[in-house]
Amino acid sequence: MTRLKFKTQTKSAFFPTVRLKVDNYFKEHDISPNANSNMWFKVIFFLGIFLLLYNLIITSSFNSWILLLLTVLLGMFSAFIGFNICHDAIHDSLSSNKKVNKGFSFLFNLVGANPYLWSIMHNTVHHTFTNIPGHDEDLVVAPGLIRITDEEPVNKIQRYQHLYAFPLYSLASLSWIFRKDYKKFFQSKIGQLKVTHPKIEYFNLFFFKALYYFLFIILPLLVLNITWWQFIIGFTALHLTKGLTMGMIFQLAHVVEGTSFPEPNKAGNIEDNWAEHQMRTTANFATGNNIAAFFLGGLNQQIEHHLFPRVCHIHYKKIGGIIRETAQEFNLPYIENPTFFDALKSHYHVLKKFGKQAYLNKS
């Protein structure tokens, strides 16, 4: 495959302009683009609830129904830990101190995922090649079952993907802890990026996976007064909840009506520069909802995140207005759905378009 490049012949003033405005916002208000007191409260809140739920499950003698409820909540807060703490830490936006970011990024291991691999898959590949088929591996959800690009052949079962996609998203966390990290680690390429790993990362992958399996499989089986089948129900419920929470949020940021899936030309070029490409492939949702902003770690403001990944998400609401105004000034799209349910409906329509409608058009 030809090495992909973004259009550079005609320089756009959009990103230099919006970057200058955002930089000036932080300077004029004399604030850091990293975490503030509100953000550190969120860190304490989500980490505290996560640890509390885990300890209540491990040390208490609740009946099976209460244990199941606590387990479902633990699954949700596992996702929230990833959204609110690990995501910023791995992007080096939580703190100006790299050691602090490194420390908090290791919490990703507590939710079963490898922070080193996520940095490659997400920070490097996804943020650079957003929504480009064959390059952005976030578009590869379940090959043969979920189709969200014109490049992929359509088959008969995909006529119903708008119905089964959401239950399928629930399996994402189980796949991640048992399969995805291992598969990605031993691939020669992630997307089209060739990868080689430091030796320490081989140790980290297997050590922290083993630690996760001990904390969430072996220890509960040793200390809880439950049967093996009750454990399987609880463990599955935790990961189905976490998987559905993660899957829906990530899909609503890029796979909705209005976002594009550009393919490079024969020379291997994308007909946009990088920043304009981000504006055409990324969408916000529920930006006026303070509850969504609190729990989703700014992932409902993906436009702000993709343009300024080194800015802590606690500031996205403030810089969002700057980006929207600058986009209008340069006649660029600023794609957003007013509510979570609008975004969900829009994603449903996209699934139907690439599944059922594409199959009928082909027939």
For residue range 61-89, list pLDDT tens digits in order.
Answer: 889 999 999 999 999 999 999 999 999 99
Question: Which residues are bridge partners to 129 per DSSP?
Answer: none
**pLDDT value at position 61?**
81
Query: In degrees, to the nearest 5, what angle opens at C-alpha 19 toward C-alphas 342 and 273?
Result: 75
Name the H helices within the chain.
14-28, 37-59, 64-81, 87-90, 98-105, 115-118, 127-128, 161-169, 172-175, 181-185, 199-213, 219-223, 228-254, 274-281, 290-296, 302-307, 316-329, 340-352, 358-362
Give the C-alpha distances (Å, rounded to integers) separating 77 from 27, 285, 302: 34, 21, 20
Give me the mean pLDDT over the 40-63 stretch. Answer: 94
According to the model, what pLDDT value does residue 8 have? Answer: 61
Whether the pTM exceeds 0.75: the reply is yes
User: Residue 11's CB: how many other CB atoms inside 10 A?
Assistant: 10
What are the pLDDT digits (tens) for 312-347? 999 999 999 999 999 999 999 999 999 999 999 999
